[in-house]
Structure 1
Amino acid sequence: MKNALFSILLFALCIQNIHAQSIEGSWQGELAVMGQKIPLIVHFSEKEGEWSGKMDSPNQGAMGIAMRKVLFDGTMLSFEMSMGNASYEGLLLGEQIKGNFSQSGMSIPLDFTKAKDGELKSAQPNRPQNPQEPFEYEIQELSFENSEAGILLKGTLTKPAGNGPFPTVVLISGSGPHNRDHEIMGHRPFWVMADYLTNRGIAVLRYDERGVGESKGVYTDATTIDLMTDVSAALDFLKSQDYVDSKRLGVIGHSEGGLISWMLGAEYEGLDFLITMAPPVIPITELMDKQTEAITRVSGANEMIVKAAVERNREVYQVVVESNNIDEIKPKLKELFESQLKSMGIPESMMDAQLKQLQQAYESQLDTWMINFLKMKPADYIHRIDIPVFAAFGSKDLQVDAAQNGNELIALFSDKPELLEVKVYENQNHLFQTAQTGAVDEYAKIEESISYLLLEDIVKFIESIGSN
């Protein structure tokens, strides 16, 4: 294989001076990972001898991901991604780039083909719920400051026509950096939600998270508590606006955003109601155990593999929870992985390579956010909430188990049941799409961005606030 690649390289170098080659423009390929094919599109441009590039992953809703260190010498191409600890090296051969994508110690073949005119447009997924003009409400682009963190955040307010005051909500996205529309795998559920609610008399503020889109700051440095202060800043801003009904100001949080909702419900003064979608309720380490179990099982693994995956991840989480920082965690994880590999019967000749791969895979995920997130216990906040709550769960959610978290939430409100409404939506996944299995690889394939049944119930709940 090395000889063949060397021959190809020599041939490419020979013809380079005859036919000048360029990577300028757009290229498309498919990354094969764990039985899934992920379409990727890369765009390259040159200015004053310097190359720059961006990557799109349409099915994951990740567009315009910046590249860094884009190097091209007429034949060999290499670049690194600005997020995800990933890189690529390839060889340009006419209308193809043949190479390998590397991330977390793994190297996967990935070839790109020059995109023809019109091909990229047709690759965009169908999203029939995306709002269409004309809009019968006001749209304001605005900014507000988290003075505690010194960060300026920007977002969009959709407000019913007229002076108000209107019931008003702030939308809080789940884990990972998201823009104001909560774009994920080609879906824009927060845009769909804002449009639906505002057409029914509710003002909605959605914003780019810190370090995303037009907002300042750095997302990778933020913990869940830091992100909560951004939402607090949004609420402070809204409380000063005349169009906001001061008795009907609330938040709608999805997944980690639901956890942030619990935190605000316990600690923010002036909040009138909470709406949580797939919120964590049980301790996060237990949530991750159940998540590993569900996702491994739906992938087709047998029960022995499912059990082993849960046990091994649980041991990792325990190391993290019992440590103070990443410097403490790394040597403990190395010792743990060595023990796990030996128990699996990995030969000594393969031990170093396997150990290195495990360390890279896990340590790349263990940032400040993850370390703090794993230590969180939502009940510490939930038991202090004394405002109305609507909590929605999907019966096919593999990331936040509906029964486990819903039942625990009901138990935590046992002394104030009149404040809580819990609803489980049948056949809906973590994103509240109607799903077959709930597996993550279905998210992009489903055209529905968010259930209208859920949105209708959210409107009814908000309309009930202050009506008694």
Structure 2
Amino acid sequence: MPTGPRPCDVTFPNGEVTLAGSLTVPDRSGGAAGVVMVGGSGPSDRDNDIYFPPIRRHLADAGVAVLSYDKRGVGGSSGDWRDATIGDLAADAAAALDFLRARPGVRAGAVGLFGHSEGGWVVLRAAAVRDDLPWVITNSCPGTTPAVQERHALTGALRRAGADVGDTDRTLALYDRLVEAGRDGADFAAATRSVDSAGPSPAFASYWAEVDERLWEFLRRKQDHDPVPDAARLRCPHLAIFGGADELVPVAESVRLFGAAACRPDRHPRAGLTAEVFPGADHRVQTSGDGLLAPHYLATLTRWIGHHTPMTPTS
């Protein structure tokens, strides 16, 4: 049974949006370090399904205050994520950061950001415009655009499904046409006609099944978001975590892109990059089918945070 600090429900504003979340503040002499956890794509709540709670408990037990929240339009939060941009979601993360920094028992200068998957793009955007962060962590965050990442994921799904060369080529060609249609401002009806005209494609069905008009518009707005300029503008250390067997993210290319951003001559001197790849781990950095995190994953988080932000203030 957990014996550490218990989370409490909180709300905080960002303009006209009210965000609801869970806050855990451990009792630490001199105040606790802190982290805002930002979930992945789709209707992610404060727990990011069941992924965040064990990470949240571990961090709290290690003396780190943790705030995670429901995305716009999910759980107790108002608004709708499908109407948002990456910039809007980054503003939500920034509001969460400022809220946590102001909590009693939390050291304002020791609060960083953690973003999983799409949340990594979000926290990089939020961090790129601030100079008051001790660090930022991206977890299974592609260094590519969403369009490139989705094509990588679709290619892998086709391969695992045993699609032949012809079906693979047709499906990827259809995907490429949809990306171009999005860039040209095509509406959902035009995109649907393109899918229908391509004929039946079982391999594409799962990708397209949940897309409706509002989701299409969100995906169209997001598809060419490039996280590298945000990574290059960081003024704090960046920990980029990946699972080596992640089927959704081009891991090697993402490490290369974030590494190239870190090597730019105009990179801020504090903005070092640490890349950690956990062999055999998936998109949630788990190495088995029972939801267990990769060995040493949690220890890596707390060790890295502790190195860049001491758990207790120093004299």
Normalising by structure 1, what TM-score?
A: 0.59
Q: Deviations over 1:255-298 (max 9, x none)?
A: 00000011012123422211111112112222121111111112
Q: Secondary structure at the match of 1:367?
A: helix
Cα 1:276–1:138 change in 2 (3 A) is: same
Equivalents in 1 of 2:248, 2:8: separation in Å? 34
> What is the alpha-carbon distance in structure 1 between the residues aligned to residue 285 and residue 181 of structure 2?
33
Mapped pair 1:176 → 2:42: yes
Task: Give deviations 1:63-85, integer Å, cap 9, x for gaps.
Answer: xxxxxxxxxxxxxxxxxxxxxxx
Counterparts of 1:300 and 1:260, CA distance in 2: 34
Higher share in strand = 1
Counterpart in the other structure of 1:463: 306
- In the alignment, structure 1 residue 136 sits paired with structure 2 residue 4: yes
Partner of 2:13: 145
Task: Output the CA distance in 1 between the equivalents of 2:155 and 2:168.
Answer: 6
Change (3 A) 1:463 1:361: closer
**1:3-402 aligned within 5 A:** 132-133=1-2, 135-146=3-14, 148=15, 150-183=16-49, 188-323=50-185, 326=187, 330-331=189-190, 334=193, 336-337=194-195, 340-341=198-199, 363-364=212-213, 366-402=215-251
SS in 1 for 2:22: strand
Deviation at 1:216, TM superposition (A): 2.4
Name the Cα RMSD after superposition.
2.6
> Which residue, out of 274, 277, 293, partners 1:450?
293
Q: For the residues of structure 2 that align with 1:219 and 1:290, how far apart are their CA atoms?
A: 24
**SS of structure 1 residue aligned to 2:112:** strand
State the Cα distance separating 1:434 from its structure 2 match: 0.7
Q: Is the 8 A contact 1:248 1:465 kept in 2?
A: no
Larger Rg over CA atoms: 1
Paired residue total: 302
The answer to which structure, 1 or 2, has the higher relative contact order (CA under 8 A, 6+ apart) is 2
Instruction: State how far apart, in whole Å, the 2-side matches of 1:453 and 1:137 are.
Output: 23
Say if 2:289 is the partner of 1:421: no
Unaligned runs of 5+ in 1: 1-131, 347-357, 436-445
1:432 is aligned to 285
Query: How many percent of aligned residue pairs carry the same amino acid?
Result: 26
Distance 1:368 1:225, change over 3 A: farther
Aligned counterparts of 2:191 and 2:238: Cα–Cα separation in 1: 41
For structure 2, the 5+ residue unaligned runs are: 202-206
Offset of residue 193 of structure 1? 0.6
| Conservation of the 8 A alpha-carbon contact between 1:232 and 1:268 | no
The alpha carbon displacement at 1:405 in A equals: 1.0
Distance 1:360 1:391 in 2: 31
How many angstroms apart in 2 are the aligned matches of 1:399 and 1:296?
12
Q: 2-side partners of 1:337 and 1:181: how far apart?
A: 34
User: Is the 8 Å Cα contact of residues 285 and 375 (structure 1) preserved in structure 2?
Assistant: yes
Q: CA deviation at 1:141?
A: 2.2
Q: Secondary structure at the match of 1:196?
A: helix
Q: Equivalent residue of 2:182, what SS?
A: helix
Are the counterparts in 2 of residues 198 and 204 from structure 1 also a CA contact under 8 Å? Answer: yes
Using structure 2 for the length normalisation, give the TM-score.
0.86
1:87-113 residue CA offsets vs partner (Å, 9 max, x unmatched): xxxxxxxxxxxxxxxxxxxxxxxxxxx
